[in-house]
Amino acid sequence: MLSPSAKPVTADMPPFKVRGAHTRREDLTASTVDVFGQFKASGTVTAGRLKVSGECRIARHCLAEQVDSFGSLRVHSLEAAHVRSSGYLSAAEDITAITFLAKGAVQLGRLTVAESVIIRLSARSRINQLITQGSLTVSGSLLAFPLLRRPFHRLDCRLLEGVSLNLEHTSAEKVCGSRISIGPGCHIQEVRYTESLHIDKASTVTKIIKLNGPGGTPE
C-alpha cells in the first residue's frame, strides 16, 4: 500500500507532455506526465500526476501521486495515492491505491485500496480480486433507459472484500465484509458477513455465512 514515505519525489523534475504520438524506451520521471494523444512507455513511469486524455500504455510499473485518465490507460502494475478513471483501465498485475474511482470499464488482476472504491459501470468489467480496508460501492451508470445496461454493464469478480460493501449488477464467487448490501442484478455464490446483510429480491446468493467477528468462525 502506498504510504507517505513512498510518494514519488518529482517536484523538482520537469513536466513531460505528449501531443500526438510518442514512444519512449527509457524510464521516465517527471513532475507531471500529460498525454494528449498516444503514448507508449517501455520502461517505468514515475510522476507526481499522470493525466491521460487519449491512449497510454506503460509496459512496466507506474508510480504516481495522482492518476486521472479520461481515455484508455493500460499498465503492467500501478501504485498511486488516488486513481480516477473515466474510460478504460487495465492492469496485468497489481494496482494499489488509497482511493479508487472508475467510471467506464476496468480489467484488473488484483486491486488493493486503503480507503474507498467507487465503480460506476458503463461497460462489462472484471476484477479478479478486490480488497479494501474501507468501503466499496459498485453501481450502474445513470442511464435514461436502465434496461440497456443488462447484461453488458456489470462487474465480474472472484473475490470482493471490505468493511462496507454496496453492490449492484455484480457477479462474484465470494463476498466478505462487515456490512453488506446486495442490490439488484447480483449473482453471488457465497457471502460472509459479521454485522449486517441485505439482499435485494432481484438478486441471488447461493450460500450465506454469518461470522462471529472479523476473521472469525461461522456462528
Residues 179 and 111 in one domain: yes
Return the pLDDT at 144. Answer: 42
Q: How far apart are CA 54 and CA 35, in angstroms?
A: 7
Q: Is 94 a member of any domain?
A: no
Domain residues for the domain of 215 are 107-219
All residues at 6 or more sequence positions from 54 whose CB lies less than 8 Å from its CB, including other chains: 18, 35, 36, 37, 38, 39, 71, 72
Q: Is 25 a member of any domain?
A: yes
Q: How far apart are CA 131 and CA 147, in angstroms?
A: 29
Among residues 60, 54, 56, the alpha carbon closest in space to that of 42 is found at 60
Residues 113 and 58 in one domain: no
Residues 24 and 123 in one domain: no
Q: Is 102 a member of any domain?
A: no
Residues 131 and 219 in one domain: yes
Q: Is 158 a member of any domain?
A: yes
Residues 65 and 119 in one domain: no
Residues 131 and 59 in one domain: no
Residues 52 and 121 in one domain: no
Residues 80 and 112 in one domain: no
pLDDT tens for each residue of 81-139? 999 999 999 999 999 999 999 999 999 999 999 999 999 998 899 999 999 999 999 99
Residue 57 has pLDDT above 70, yes or no: yes
| Phi and psi at residue 26, to the nearest 5° | -85, 160
Residue 19 has pLDDT above 80, yes or no: yes
Residue type, 169: H
Residues 139 and 73 in one domain: no
Q: Is 100 a member of any domain?
A: no
CA angle 209, 94, 76 (to 5 degrees): 150
From 6-10, 14-18, 67-71, 141-145, the region with the lowest mean pLDDT:
141-145
Domain count of the fold of the chain:
2
